Structure 1
Amino acid sequence: MASPINFRHLYYFWVVAKEGGMARAAERLGMAVQTVSAQVRSLEQTLGHSLFRPAGRGIALTDAGIVAMAHADQIFQLGEQLPAAVREAATGQGLRLAVGIADGLPKLVVRHLLQPALEDPRVRLLCLEDNIEGLLSDLALHRLDVVLSDRSAPANPNLRLYSHRLGEAPLAWYAPASLAGRHAGPFPDCLAQMPVLLPTGQVAVRARLDQWLERSNLRPRVAGEFEDSALLAAFGRSGMGAFPASRWSHEELMHEPGLRLLGECPDVVEHFYLISAERRIQHPLVQRLLQVSRDGAA
């Protein structure tokens, strides 16, 4: 069994790495250089690897030290957040929900998915957008409460993650009225006559859209591909081409003057997942999201 980490030793290592040397770290800590050096050596003995190497007249992190520093940064950043989080919980000033949003997820859908949590007056929402790999790493380190994605968490023996089905929505096609008026005809055949915008292959629904176009014998001219759905819709509204969007986005899209619904393709469905680092959900707002999802599916 590995020896437990002494977090005081880890803190001294972290300060040395931040300050770039033993002497500057000792000055910041108000300690003797020999004491700081001894604490760092104790940490190295616990981990079984050297964390620093000589570099000119100073020291630099080894490969093992770089990894240790990355983890130490996350640990002490969380520590800095602890007093505020405890104070808010104790005084009832807020209920923080940190959500990671996969960068391919339609932004208009995110608000729909999070709406049940927003109805709680105590909520203090923190939304961070990134690629799914970065978000899942932050989730595993408990820097996020949950991750929202258009696909379930990929299998990873190093991460214990749980995917919960949060909902699904069919797609519909939209186009500016000026573009739709120049290419009259029944849907979906009219798509063959106009430029279209599509999500990139990184977005889960792209493969299902390609299959639907193939089944419909449609080979439209693809004028653009976008990973960000909000950007895709913005270029579509500007007149660049017809574009697909979730039916959950319909009300917001119809607020745009001159935008027309071309038609629906109910057999092309976007799936949405809530990914957690715990099987048994404890956060009350996350429990609320899942309960509303289950009630809607019943």
Structure 2
Amino acid sequence: MNKINLNKLYYFYIVAKEGSVKSASEKLHLTQPTISSQIKELEEDLGFDVFIRKHRKLDLNRNGRFVLKKAEKLFAIADELENALPIRGKAERVKINIGAIQSLSNSFIYNFSMKLWQDDSVYIRITQGSQEELMKKMDRGEIDLILSDGNYGKSKKLKSILLGQDKIVAVGPKDLEFNKRKFPKNLEDYHYISFSNQGRLQEDVEYFFDRENIHPEKIGEVDDITLMKVITKHTQSFSILPHRAVKNQLQRGDLKLLGELKELKTGLWAIFPSLSANKLVIRKVLNDYFHRKSKK
């Protein structure tokens, strides 16, 4: 029997605890083929198999259960040793800068970056601005990833990943007298508050109004989505926003749903450089986001 490699043993330990290579790969942030090959090499070093392989299912065999018990004791001792060591100076946190356009809700921005805020090895800076401003900062290397409502990253130097889609809705104050049967044409009978930045959402809304020959009176522009919701709540005006941005306000009754612009959808995109010093952190946050999304 060859000398046991502790890294390979640890991968086996995590797979056995998680119950599958897929779950272990998400926990370890490694690809499934990498973990599978490491376990195969461990079995070769041990001189026996540790799993019963049935299709894609892995079950511990008798030898595997024995190795797992020993591994549990070994890594428990390692944890005790680490906790008993004198406090060492903490390593410097990896800095990652995330840009988000102003039409995205704060809840979505937090939900996307949730894992990073819980990571002791990461320092996060979030900047909100227009698409143009954020792209310029990315060109200067000041931003690692942009959360956007459009796929603006069509170049060899940038990658764009679709995070999801959301419906577009018109909302007004809860006491607004509004005939939903005449929606959307009757929107022109009310005052309208729009985004001041020319993002994809605003472009799509203006195109929709022109196509449907709807001409509401615009009384102002706001570049902050939270402020827009507050103003809409306290004035006899309407605004057009992604549904997830106003979902909580609609549930609480702070705002009234006037209707859905069914022809319109807004995309949620992550844009980042193809070559990035923070590639591993970006991959980590994307994997975590899609993992949590798949469980909903």
TM-score (norm. length: structure 2) = 0.56
For residues 8-59 of structure 1, give each alpha carbon's deviation from its aligned partner in whole angstroms, at most 9, with x where no partner exists.
xxxxxxxxxxxxxxxxxxxxxxxxxxxxxxxxxxxxxxxxxxxxxxxxxxxx
Letter in 1 for 2:127: L
Q: Which residue of 1 aligns with 2:10?
A: none
What is the CA distance between 1:176 and its match in structure 2?
A: 0.7
Q: For residues 245-256 of structure 1, what are the structure 2 equivalents within 5 Å? A: 245-254=241-250
Pair 1:184-2:183 in alignment:
no
Q: May I ask how many residue pairs the two structures share in their alignment?
A: 205
Q: Is the 8 A contact 2:130 2:199 kept in 1?
A: no
Partner of 2:256: 260
Report whether the alignment pairs 1:168 with 2:184.
no
In the alignment, the residues of structure 2 paired with residue 275 and residue 281 of structure 1 have an alpha-carbon distance, to the nearest angstrom, of: 15
**Could you tell me which residue of structure 1 aligns to residue 144 of structure 2?**
145
Moved more, 261-270 or 187-196: 187-196
Name 1:231's counterpart in structure 2. 227
Equivalent position of 1:113 in the other structure: 112
Unmatched 5+ stretches in structure 2: 1-88
Task: Please tell me whether the aligned partners of residues 203 and 227 of structure 1 are also in contact (alpha carbons under 8 angstroms).
Answer: no
Give the drift of 1:255. Answer: 6.1
When normalised by structure 1's length, the TM-score is 0.55
- Residue 184 of structure 1 aligns with an amino acid whose one-letter code is N
Select which of 197, 201, 209 maps to 2:193: 197
Deviation at 1:141, TM superposition (A): 4.2
Q: Is the 8 A contact 2:149 2:268 kept in 1?
A: yes
* Secondary structure of 2:151's aligned partner: coil
What SS does structure 1 have at the residue aligned with 2:244?
helix
Alpha-carbon distance, 1:131 to partner: 3.9
- Which of 237, 243, 251 pairs up with 1:241? 237
d(CA) in 2 for partners of 1:266, 1:297: 25
1:208 aligns with 2:204: yes
Q: Rate the CA distance shift 1:297–1:203 in 2: closer, same or farther, 3 A.
A: farther
What residue identity is the alignment partner of 2:166? A
In the alignment, is the contact (CA less than 8 A) between 1:102 and 1:131 conserved in 2?
yes
CA RMSD of aligned residues (A): 3.5
Partner Cα separation in structure 2 for residue 267 and residue 121 of structure 1: 43
Q: Which amino acid aligns with 1:162?
A: K
- Distance in 2 of aligned mates of 1:183 and 1:265: 16
Does structure 1 residue 218 correspond to structure 2 residue 217?
no
- The percentage of counterpart residues that share the same residue type is 17
Instruction: Give 1:99 shift.
Output: 1.0
Q: Note the 1:51-200 alignment, pairs <5 A.
A: 91=90, 94=93, 96-118=95-117, 120=119, 123-153=122-152, 160-179=157-176, 182-186=177-181, 187-200=183-196
